[in-house]
Chains A and B, each alone.
Chain A
């Protein structure tokens, strides 16, 4: 990847780090966990720098007593982005008590449709959603239903954590989470945000969710993902959304697909997550941070 593509993006991330060490979604705003995690992943080659360490300390300070991470310093609620914090811990090779508590919280969390009451209803033939509640995924926020994106992010985190956490529940939840994603695959071969159909009508897949679903399914030896990967390549070719193209490039490269590089003339985005994702999507870049090496090897 030419330096004139990566360089300005990395510089924009460095320049827009907040004084507290974190990153906002957009310059001049408050720090949030999600952009901070992606920025720290994108800048991980500079992990020894004081700036990176400031971001790392801030992110670590947002962990709650119950092990979950909150979305920023002002919202004292457990949040799906705990999965990103765990992935970052794996990349940074920090496997301490905070890490283990975070993994435990993820293992104890699942979509509201998987509650005992709903599963009992399902067992007697009453379906409250169109989904099989035994395949437990993860929600954006506790008390809500499971969705493709948080489930995919959590699968990436748990698969990265798997070699370090000897817990049969972790293996079980990976199988169930993969099952949830595979059962919600759209008829066109990719993934929508949550369901494959609404009111009996097929829903289309979207590029970013297809990319994330594939990332979550890395290492699955039972499903044939060939057509899904082909669909993802078509989405990458057709999509004008830079966000979607970045996620698709991360995912496809994680699966070993060779893609042309993006044009260096593409301007640097104001959207700081997009900046970080475009760095991570580079051919020699951090897309490997999303590869569960322990499971793939």
Chain B
């Protein structure tokens, strides 16, 4: 076993072991879920129209809902693609408003950086979104309320803005992840965990087990929609140190398990090998037979992301590229 894998195994055994022992093999999801894959060449095109089309294809009802847009703000590095692009977030704000949402806020609790507003500035959000501060909630420092029995924690504190939302729109970047394999709509919910309680980088979630925590957060927040920023994604040693990858796609859906499974197929990753998706099989559709694909066919638009050696075995069978 490689040293890094041994280290991971030990850390996992020590930290997340108890939670892992307690989890049950989930029953499989019985329904079907629509997921839309739409082409978007760049951030300069009319993304609002594309988002409205994605929402329509997935049958999402927005009217009178309190909507929380949850982008992924991690770090800023002008040379790569770490954060959800501001153009996409601005377009989503416009789209959800035009559909009659009762309110639309942008909210994020970055995992590493304490200066959320400074990070948003570096990522262009202040310039790209009118009255950004008036629309934005720093989830790391929001008021919080407890929920019961979150993994091994008898009570766990979550931001009131997220708990009170009628719809949380997960807007991640399409990226590989050096611990979880991929970071997409479900993992993006780590940003709902308040740093003011759990610190930075949400170290408590690592101790509860990254995969366990991804699934537990998605069990907690069930009124969801996803808009995955795959216009430019990140491959290799993501989610921070990878390299930009042009994909030219946006992926939409209410079932975040189905969205992430679809994104994995587009990235050339076998979703059946991604641990958190295995654990979430009762929450949504992993099996492609249970996903009603709309827009582009993920097999046709497959665009393999480079994987670090630890995840080489996650590569989707090349034969599936041809469909």
Identify the A interface with B (CB < 8 A): 24-26, 29-30, 32, 34, 71, 74-75, 77, 79-80, 112, 117-118, 121, 126-129, 139-141, 143-145, 147, 149-150, 193-194, 198-199, 201, 206, 208, 240-244, 270-271
Contact = CB atoms under 8 A, between A and B. Distances in A.
B242 to A, nearest CB: 11
Given A75-B197, A121-B10, A141-B199, A112 B117 contact: no
Given A117-B14, A121-B10, A141-B204, 5 more contacts: A75-B197, A127-B7, A193-B112, A201-B241, A240-B122
A25 B203 contact: no
Contacts of A75: 144, 157, 197
A20 to B, nearest CB: 13
B200 interface: yes
Contact of B7 (A77, A129, A271): A129
Given A25-B138, A199-B178, A240-B121, A147 B200 contact: yes
Contact of A25 (B6, B196, B206, B241): B196
Classify the interface of chain A: helix, strand, loop or mixed: loop
B4 interface: yes
CB-CB nearest 10 A-B residue pairs: A140-B199, A241-B118, A25-B141, A243-B115, A144-B203, A128-B10, A30-B143, A241-B115, A29-B143, A193-B112
Contacts of A193: 112, 200-201
B199 A80 contact: yes
A77 B153 CA distance: 12
B142 interface: yes
Given A71-B196, A75-B197, A143 B237 contact: no
Nearest to B240: A198
B199 A198 contact: no
B294 interface: no
A71 B118 contact: no
B11 interface: yes
A117 B138 CA distance: 37
A208 B114 contact: yes
B166 to A, nearest CB: 21
Contact of B121 (A25, A145, A241, A271): A241
Contacts of B10: 121, 126, 128
B133 interface: yes
A143 B237 CA distance: 28
Contact of B117 (A80, A126, A128, A271): A271
A1 to B, nearest CB: 22
A150 B200 CA distance: 10
A141 B114 contact: no
Contacts of A118: 14
B144 A150 contact: no
A240 B118 contact: yes
A272 to B, nearest CB: 10
Given A29-B143, A128-B14, A129-B11, A206 B113 contact: yes
Nearest to A31: B143
B29 interface: no
A30 B143 CA distance: 6
Contacts of A127: 3, 7
Interface in B214-266: 237, 240-241
Given A144-B207, A193-B201, A126 B6 contact: yes
A193 B240 CA distance: 14
A26 B7 contact: no
Contacts of B138: 25-26
B308 interface: yes
Interface in B301-319: 308
Contacts of B201: 193-194
Contact of A198 (B11, B178, B200): B178
A239 to B, nearest CB: 8
Contacts of A141: 197-199, 203-204
